[in-house]
Each structure stands twice: as structure tokens, then as C-alpha cells.
């Protein structure tokens, strides 16, 4: 971004470059789009984001993002409140809801343990989870099968075990629709170990 670039283009591109996964080339492309839009359109876009952020609340029960004190899932009387599914982020709640196979409630940690990045247990919504265990039958660990995800699940599992609550983990195995020959070794090994009767 040298001097010959027009100032408004630089200003807009610098804003977009703040976003995750948006490099300088994409930022410039988006900036150019903004400058080609009418002032009204840009105002609407900007105000839309401000409004979305302002309307955001965190559910007092499950810590998910919502627009009220208690999220629609926690408020739903048909949901099994004694079955808590622990996830990393609100995106994971959406993903599991899409599967249509879960009728319990969630608990959003808002991150995973990662000592390397300085994320310890105090940075996650773990205290809030522990407070919910008084009336709970089962906690499902639904963190990603990554190093951080596994470590977080193991850590929480140890914390929860003394409460004599069932702690489970999402199954490992082949992704549906995937071709066996492209499955990695670890996935294939887990799929073999966890094979079920037909």
C-alpha cells in the first residue's frame, strides 16, 4: 500500500484487513466495493454491524450468543435440561442443531484450553458449567478432535467425574460420504477400534 494508492481506498482497506482471514489483497477488493457503493449503502452496512453487536447478549445459562437473557434453546421446555453438550463456540451449537439429533441443552466454553496461547481454565466458561451440574445426568464433550479439543475434554472430564455424572465424548470414525481411501491413518484406526455390529 504505497503513496500512489488513493487515500479513501487505503482507509477502507485498512478496516477490512482487521478482519480474520482477510489479507491485504482481499481487503483492497472489499474496499473498492465499498467505494463503489452509495453512501447510504455503506451507512446501512456499518449500522447493521453496530446494531448486531449492540443487540448481542450472552445466555445466562448456556453462555451462547443470543438477543435476550436466556437463549431460545434453554427456554424451550421440550429440551432435556439434564443433558448438557459442551462445545467450544456458538458456531458448534448451530452445527449440532443442524444434525437434528440432540434434544438436550448446550454449554458454550468460548474457547479451548491452550497453554501455549496463554488460555487457561479461568479464560473459559468452566465455572459457569460447574454451577449447572447440580441437576444433570450426563455431560457430552463435543469439542473438536484436535490437541486443544482433546485436552479440554480430558480436563473437564476430570473435574466433573467427582459429581458422579456420566461424561461422554462424540464418536470418532469415518465422516459420512467420505471415501475410505482418503481417510487419514488416525481416523481409520479409530473407526476400526469403534466398529459396531451390523
Q: Does 114 bind a copy of itself (CB under 8 A)?
A: no
Q: Supply the DSSP string of 42-71, one letter for each residue.
A: HHHHHHHHHHHHHH-EE-TTT--EESSSS-
Residue 91 Cβ vs a copy of itself, minimum distance, rounded to whole Å: 6
Q: Does 183 bind a copy of itself (CB under 8 A)?
A: no
Q: How many CA atoms lie within 13 A of 97 on its CB side?
A: 11
- What helix, strand, coil percent values describe the chain, rounded to 5? 50, 15, 35
CA gyration radius, the chain: 22
Q: Between 97 and 137, whose beta carbon lies closer to a copy of itself?
A: 97
Q: Between 90 and 160, whose beta carbon lies closer to a copy of itself?
A: 90
Q: Quick one: how many helices (H) and strands (E) in the chain?
A: 8, 6
Nearest residue to 109 via CA among 133, 142, 83: 142
The residue range among 67-75, 79-87, 131-139, 156-164 that interacts with a copy of itself, by the rule CB under 8 A, is: 67-75
Q: Does 45 bind a copy of itself (CB under 8 A)?
A: yes
Quick one: how far is CA 136 from the chain centroid?
A: 22
Q: Does 11 bind a copy of itself (CB under 8 A)?
A: yes
Q: Does 70 bind a copy of itself (CB under 8 A)?
A: no
Rule CB under 8 A: choose which of 23, 24, 29, 175 binds a copy of itself.
29
Residue 110 Cβ vs a copy of itself, minimum distance, rounded to whole Å: 8
Rule CB under 8 A: choose which of 23, 60, 69, 72 binds a copy of itself.
72
The residue range among 39-47, 130-138, 147-155, 184-192 that interacts with a copy of itself, by the rule CB under 8 A, is: 39-47
Site for a copy of itself in 79-108 (CB under 8 A): 89-91, 93-94, 97-98
Contact present, 98 and 120 (Cβ < 8 Å)? no
Nearest residue to 107 via CA among 82, 154, 150: 82
- The sign of the torsion formed by the CA atoms of 83, 140, 66, 70 equals positive
Chain residues in the site for a copy of itself (CB under 8 A): 2-9, 11-12, 14-15, 18-22, 26, 28-35, 37, 39, 42-43, 45-57, 64-67, 71-73, 89-91, 93-94, 97-98
Amino acid at each position: 500500500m504505497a503513496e500512489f494508492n488513493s487515500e479513501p481506498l487505503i482507509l477502507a482497506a485498512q478496516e477490512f484487513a482487521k478482519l480474520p482471514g482477510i489479507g491485504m489483497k482481499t481487503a483492497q477488493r472489499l474496499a473498492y466495493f465499498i467505494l463503489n457503493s452509495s453512501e447510504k449503502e455503506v451507512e446501512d452496512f456499518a449500522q447493521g454491524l453496530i446494531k448486531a453487536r449492540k443487540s448481542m447478549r450472552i445466555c445466562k445459562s448456556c453462555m451462547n450468543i443470543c438477543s435476550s437473557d436466556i437463549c431460545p434453546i434453554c427456554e424451550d421446555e421440550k429440551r432435556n435440561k439434564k443433558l448438557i453438550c459442551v462445545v467450544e463456540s456458538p458456531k458448534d451449537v448451530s452445527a449440532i442443531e443442524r444434525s437434528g439429533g440432540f434434544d438436550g441443552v448446550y454449554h458454550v466454553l468460548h474457547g479451548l484450553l491452550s497453554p501455549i496461547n496463554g488460555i487457561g481454565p479461568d479464560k473459559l466458561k468452566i465455572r459457569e458449567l460447574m454451577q449447572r451440574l447440580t441437576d444433570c445426568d450426563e455431560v457430552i464433550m463435543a469439542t473438536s478432535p484436535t490437541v486443544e479439543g482433546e485436552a479440554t475434554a480430558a480436563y473437564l472430564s476430570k473435574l466433573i467425574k467427582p459429581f458422579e455424572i456420566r461424561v461422554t465424548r462424540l464418536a470418532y470414525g469415518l465422516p459420512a460420504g467420505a471415501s475410505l481411501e482418503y481417510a487419514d491413518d488416525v481416523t481409520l484406526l479409530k473407526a476400526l477400534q469403534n466398529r459396531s455390529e451390523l
